[in-house]
Structure 1
């Protein structure tokens, strides 16, 4: 069997099952596990999957640039944002990161809600600029142009001085054993810092980002208290994170 044909079969199986194992692929393709491992490494290098111990899982299909994500899965973001409102009440300090789902929450905050928002997201600041009752604290730093957020030491130092009640963390990828990951190293460091200083970490994750992984680690899934997902993702998350103590909404 040609290598290109093996690649096609691997990617088809991955798309169908959301994971592949060395053993099952070796049996199906009638090749050694060593050859399968080499194929998975090549597919990982091409950015088509994420090789993990014993097999592979998908990358998140989410577009990487903020502008491309604005009109992506808007119905799912609306569902997630409306669920998130139930976690908010007056007097809280709430951290928002730079995800478009976090921005969707900011855009529907009730006009009488009195909270303090801490964020490194220019779009979140823009949305809340006219809110009459919300105080906004912005983390300075270097602009990460793909996400319209501030990153770097200044942003991290800012968040290290905060103790947030809730962190609404936009998710690129979340997996029960690999944890929460993203595509940019400096972004991962800021998100990690915010998660460390927050009493409750709320992962905002449409279904296609569940059971996927990227290169840069943010935190273990055990650090997450709540996963808010769309209706299609709820059963998937409940199955994947069963027994973890994570609340699924």
Structure 2
């Protein structure tokens, strides 16, 4: 089998399994693990997968730009929002990031909910404007036009001035070994800062982001308290996350 055919087979295999080891691919393709490692590095350099120790994981299938994400998978975002809303109580200070799933949660806020929301997301801020009992504190800085958020040193410094009761984290990718990762460096640093300055972390993730990885590290799984997804907590793909000690909804 030629290299191009072998690498295409690797990608097809990974799209079905989400994660694969070098040993599995070596046996499946009848080539050495050294050959597989070289293939995985080449494919990783092209952004087609994420090479990890002993194998590879699939990248998140989500589009990068906010405008393409905002209408994507709306029903599953509503399911996630309905599960997560129970964690929000009157009087809390809540960090909310710029994920579109986080936005779906804000859309589900009842009118009588009393919170202080601290966010760097323009769409979240626009929604909160119409909620009479929500106090809004907006994190300034340079605007990232890809995510419709502020994302700069000023934004990072701003979040350090607060200690949130709850952090709502819309994530790009989550993996039971690599933790939470992001596709944009500045976004990864903002999320990391939010986590460090919060008492309780809720990660929102659709099933298609589970067991995927992106280039920029955000946090280990041990830093997260709850993982909320659109699928049943008993789904097999969530087993590894339960074993890591996460509450899974």
Q: Displacement of 1:233 after TM fit?
A: 6.9
Q: Displacement of 1:238 after TM fit?
A: 3.2
Q: Displacement of 1:3 after TM fit?
A: 1.1
Count of residue pairs brought into register by the alignment: 249
Distance 1:5 1:211, change over 3 A: same
Between the aligned partners of 2:193 and 2:33, the Cα distance in structure 1 is 39
Q: Displacement of 1:243 after TM fit?
A: 2.5
Q: Displacement of 1:23 after TM fit?
A: 1.1
Residue 11 of structure 1 aligns with which residue? 11
Indicate the SS of the match to 2:222.
helix
Residue 124 of structure 1 aligns with which residue? 124
Residue 54 of structure 1 aligns with which residue? 54
8 Å contact kept, 1:208–1:233:
no
Residue 109 of structure 1 aligns with which residue? 109
Residue 92 of structure 1 aligns with which residue? 92
Between the aligned partners of 1:142 and 1:77, the Cα distance in structure 2 is 28
Q: Displacement of 1:24 after TM fit?
A: 1.5
User: Normalising by the residue count of structure 2, what TM-score does the alignment of the two structures yield?
Assistant: 0.97
Q: Displacement of 1:242 after TM fit?
A: 2.6
Between the aligned partners of 2:155 and 2:144, the Cα distance in structure 1 is 11
Is there any run of 5+ residues in structure 2 with no aligned partner, and where? Answer: none
Q: Displacement of 1:26 after TM fit?
A: 1.3
Residue 145 of structure 1 aligns with which residue? 145
2:17 is the counterpart of 1:22: no
Indicate the SS of the match to 1:44.
helix
Indicate the SS of the match to 1:118.
strand
RMSD: 1.2
User: Normalising by the residue count of structure 1, what TM-score does the alignment of the two structures yield?
Assistant: 0.97
Distance 1:234 1:45, change over 3 A: farther
Indicate the SS of the match to 2:201.
strand
8 Å contact kept, 2:233–2:248:
no
Q: For residues 223-242 of structure 1, what are the alpha-carbon distances to aligned partners after superposition, in whole Å with 9 as ceiling and x for unaligned?
A: 00000000267514531213
Q: For residues 80-127 of structure 1, what are the alpha-carbon distances to aligned partners after superposition, in whole Å with 9 as ceiling and x for unaligned?
A: 111111111110001100000111111121101111000000000011
Q: For residues 40-61 of structure 1, what are the alpha-carbon distances to aligned partners after superposition, in whole Å with 9 as ceiling and x for unaligned?
A: 1111112111010111010000
